[in-house]
Structure 1
Amino acid sequence: MQELSLGNLNYEFSREREPRLRISSGETIRVETEDALSGQIRKPGDCRDKSKVPYSNPVTGPIYVEQAEPGDTLAIRIEKIESRDGQCATYTGNPKQLCQWLGTDVPDGAHVCPIRDGLVYWSDDIAIPYQPMLGCIGTTPAYGMPSTMPAGPHGGNMDIREVTEGNTLFLPVFVEGAYLYLGDAHAAMGQGELSATGLEMAAHTTLTIELIKGKTIAGPRIETPDELITVASGTPMERATAEAFAQLILWMESEHGWNRWRAYDLLTHVGEISLGYYEGGGLAVKVPKKYVTHPS
């Protein structure tokens, strides 16, 4: 199994960088990533200082997938997400839209949380289940040079909790080799990622990457053992919700034999939403597979 070490911190999905790893379809790899706070909060007394490190969500890559071409799809099975240091970190951040009600006198709130025995110790009294996920993973677009802050059709900073162990993420390929990057692992995250900061951790992530030739998708998809999920982003969030549901309907139609209007009706009653960072409009919509297996 090939391994990719951290390297220099990178904050763009760039086509201009030399690939740091080349793989063939079907390979399993292990990738080291830094936390979204650029490693600034490691011990008591540390704080997030954007005057020194202004950017967030460093990603490791690019990973070049042999024979990948525009119009193909990557199927990325997430095998394992492990904390590199046995801890994670968070801070209060900027409440932005909440300032209307909460005010602007915001404490830094930075603190380190140990991870052990399947729990994240947020305080001496409160332990949160360890539920690792990748906040940021994406292929590289054919034009522009998106940073690791927004999400889009390429993936990017989706912050969707279902990008986790045991699930398969599907991403479009826009450039030769795909140029895959990943980072921003969380030990856990609440729906909406209210402060724009999850329980951020440096990680080692094990992935199996399959290339699906000739399969073109409009944006990220996720398949779990029990659900089909599509992801969209942008504001207003109502627009992203509509796009995600439309893409889920089209997936049900093209690959599972559904009439689109029957799928539209069904999702009205059984569809669910999973929120990424609320201010960025990132969200996923999903349907249990038990309904999809009976096209109507």
Structure 2
Amino acid sequence: MSHHILKATKDTVHLGGFSHLLTPSLTVESNDTIAVETYTGFYVYDKAPAAFLTPELIDICQNLPAERKIAQGPHLLTGPIYVNNAEPGDVLEVELIEIYPSLPVGFNAIRSGWGALRQKFTQPALRFIDLDLENKIAEFPQHSGIKIPLKPFFGILGVATPEENRSSIPPGNYGGNIDNRELQVGAKIYLPIFVTGALFSIGDGHSAQGDGEVNVTAIETSMNGTIKLKLRKDLQLQIPIAETPTDIITMGFGNTLDEALEKAVENMIYFLEMFVNLSPEDAYVLCSLAVNFRISQAVNSPQKGVHGMLSKSILPQLIKI
């Protein structure tokens, strides 16, 4: 097991999407750990205060090579990371060991035509929000006395697929723009692998977000962290599954929240069949009795997200994924 440091530079990040044609930024072995740096704000850096900017971010925004601009998504992603011996059909286990904002300011943006109330809030608006990193809070609105706890996570954790130019906006069975605020330090996510090497990318740091992310963005934040990548040839999954120290999480994505909910329920039933040995009908009943289904995000066109949370405490024995 080795430890790596992956800095975010114009040669190690990519913009707007995923592609299996990208040159890997790093090659690792299974069980290696990586200290990873991510940046956000490619399209707003020219409006940002000094505290939001670093020489590296400015260099990325001004000099990112054309071949690392993949699609029309707004996200800067660090990677891809090539995992030796990873093949289609395997599973990549991503353990989140550390996550922390690297700068004392983030931003929130309302975008025209996006959001849960896009027909009501039609004008774009950009706000930079100070982060009190010592006390781990953000006051918003400023001087209001409303203090939001910082609970940082990466909105995007995903692998490449055979598509050459996949947008970073919609989530899917490859992970991607999941925007699930439960995936904080101590969580793991298990991603199906679709191409040789997995080609994992990470980014879209959020310092705080409510379930639903209703105005399109959270407190978007340049974020650093430490992750562990483990190749799982003993698992076969067609959809991402995650776990925290307290819960098992299944996810569903669809063009509507109804479709996303159906998928999240189906995926929890699948988990209960595979790992808890329940019949499909008993699993369906248990979902109604004990699983909490929540809106991950309602705004990432065309795929909205719902996740189901099953408390590990109700299970008769420790589940080992």
Q: Above 0.5 in TM-score?
A: yes
Q: Which amino acid aligns with 1:5?
A: K
Tell me, yes or no, if structure 1 residue 17 matches structure 2 residue 37.
no
Partner of 1:210: 230
Which of 33, 37, 58 lines up with 1:32 in the alignment?
37
**Partner Cα separation in structure 2 for residue 184 and residue 261 of structure 1:** 38
Query: For residues 19 and 272 of structure 1, do their structure 2 counterparts lie closer, same or farther at Cα, with a shift above 3 Å needed?
Result: same
Partner of 2:58: none
Post-superposition shift, 1:67?
0.8
Which of 241, 254, 259 lines up with 2:274 in the alignment?
254
Q: Show structure 1 runs of 4+ deviating over 6 A.
A: none
**Partner Cα separation in structure 1 for residue 186 and residue 233 of structure 2:** 23
Query: For residues 285 and 21 of structure 1, do their structure 2 counterparts lie closer, same or farther at Cα, with a shift above 3 Å needed?
Result: same
Partner of 1:83: 101
Query: For residues 103 and 286 of structure 1, do their structure 2 counterparts lie closer, same or farther at Cα, with a shift above 3 Å needed?
Result: closer
**Partner Cα separation in structure 2 for residue 144 and residue 10 of structure 1:** 13
1:36–1:184 contact (8 Å) kept in structure 2: no
Cα deviation code 1:31-82 (max 9, x no counterpart): 11112555625318x9xxxxx9974111110100111111111111101111
1:133–1:163 contact (8 Å) kept in structure 2: yes
SS at match of 1:88: strand
Query: For residues 91 and 279 of structure 1, do their structure 2 counterparts lie closer, same or farther at Cα, with a shift above 3 Å needed?
Result: closer
Query: For residues 91 and 32 of structure 1, do their structure 2 counterparts lie closer, same or farther at Cα, with a shift above 3 Å needed?
Result: same
Which of 307, 314, 320 lines up with 1:284 in the alignment?
307
**Partner Cα separation in structure 2 for residue 55 and residue 240 of structure 1:** 21
Post-superposition shift, 1:11?
1.9
Post-superposition shift, 1:99?
4.5
Partner of 1:43: 49
SS at match of 2:299: helix
**Partner Cα separation in structure 2 for residue 187 and residue 103 of structure 1:** 23
**Partner Cα separation in structure 2 for residue 19 and residue 57 of structure 1:** 18
Partner of 2:90: 72
Q: RMSD value over aligned CA atoms?
A: 2.3
Which of 117, 132, 140 lines up with 1:98 in the alignment?
117
Cα deviation code 1:98-124 (max 9, x no counterpart): 254x353x3624223223211123322
**Partner Cα separation in structure 2 for residue 16 and residue 249 of structure 1:** 35
**How many pairs align?**
287
Which of 141, 147, 160 lines up with 2:180 in the alignment?
160
**Partner Cα separation in structure 1 for residue 246 and residue 88 of structure 2:** 30
Query: For residues 95 and 14 of structure 1, do their structure 2 counterparts lie closer, same or farther at Cα, with a shift above 3 Å needed?
Result: closer
Tell me, yes or no, if structure 1 residue 111 matches structure 2 residue 122.
no
Partner of 2:155: 135
Q: Which amino acid aligns with 1:81?
A: I
Which of 220, 232, 240 lines up with 2:240 in the alignment?
220
Deviates more, 1:129-138 or 1:234-243: 234-243
The TM-score, its normalising length taken from structure 1, stands at: 0.90
Using the aligned pairs only, state the percent identity: 27
Cα deviation code 1:254-284 (max 9, x no counterpart): 1222222111101112111232221331121
1:25–1:209 contact (8 Å) kept in structure 2: yes
The TM-score, its normalising length taken from structure 2, stands at: 0.83
Query: For residues 103 and 158 of structure 1, do their structure 2 counterparts lie closer, same or farther at Cα, with a shift above 3 Å needed?
Result: closer
Tell me, yes or no, if structure 1 residue 169 matches structure 2 residue 198.
no
**Partner Cα separation in structure 2 for residue 273 and residue 10 of structure 1:** 31
**Partner Cα separation in structure 1 for residue 316 and residue 283 of structure 2:** 12
**Partner Cα separation in structure 1 for residue 191 and residue 73 of structure 2:** 24
**Partner Cα separation in structure 2 for residue 121 and residue 114 of structure 1:** 8
2:268–2:287 contact (8 Å) kept in structure 1: no
Query: For residues 22 and 109 of structure 1, do their structure 2 counterparts lie closer, same or farther at Cα, with a shift above 3 Å needed?
Result: closer
Tell me, yes or no, if structure 1 residue 182 matches structure 2 residue 202.
yes
Partner of 1:198: 218
**Partner Cα separation in structure 1 for residue 248 and residue 157 of structure 2:** 19
Cα deviation code 1:151-170 (max 9, x no counterpart): 11000111111121110011
1:94–1:195 contact (8 Å) kept in structure 2: no
Query: For residues 161 and 99 of structure 1, do their structure 2 counterparts lie closer, same or farther at Cα, with a shift above 3 Å needed?
Result: closer
Q: Which amino acid aligns with 1:145?
A: N
Partner of 1:271: 291
SS at match of 2:275: helix
**Partner Cα separation in structure 2 for residue 254 and residue 214 of structure 1:** 13
